[in-house]
Amino acid sequence: MKKTDLAKSDAKKLMNKMGAKNAAFGAAASTSAPDRREQRERERALGLVPFAVKLNGDLVQQLRQLSEERGVELGQLVTELLQKGLSD
């Protein structure tokens, strides 16, 4: 048996072992998908749109601290600050 054939055989054995273990993981993962889907639907109904931006790490840390101090979610805090900044 060539070295590459041996490596392929070992890889197949490993994949078969992983497949058996991941069967339960896949089933568990599929049950959480509707929760995410339902959350996205609720957010859409509220008119919320995902909006990704890249911010400086120090600024993000300040935002997180401020949201903890105020006891509000980070998204809600950013919304308030953007609305205040845009109204000026």
3-13 pLDDT per residue, tens: 888 888 888 88
Confidence of residue 2 (pLDDT cuts 50, 70, 90): confident
Residue with tokens 């805090």: 77
Q: For 14-58, how does the pLDDT look when each residue is reduced to its tens digit (9 = 90+)?
A: 788 776 655 555 555 555 566 888 988 998 999 988 889 999 999
pTM: 0.54
Q: How far apart are CA 8 and CA 26, in angstroms?
A: 25
The alpha carbon of residue 72 and the mean position of all alpha carbons in its chain are separated, in whole angstroms, by 20
For residue 72, which amino acid is it? V
Under 8 Å between Cβ of 64 and 73: no
SS3 of 61, please? Answer: helix
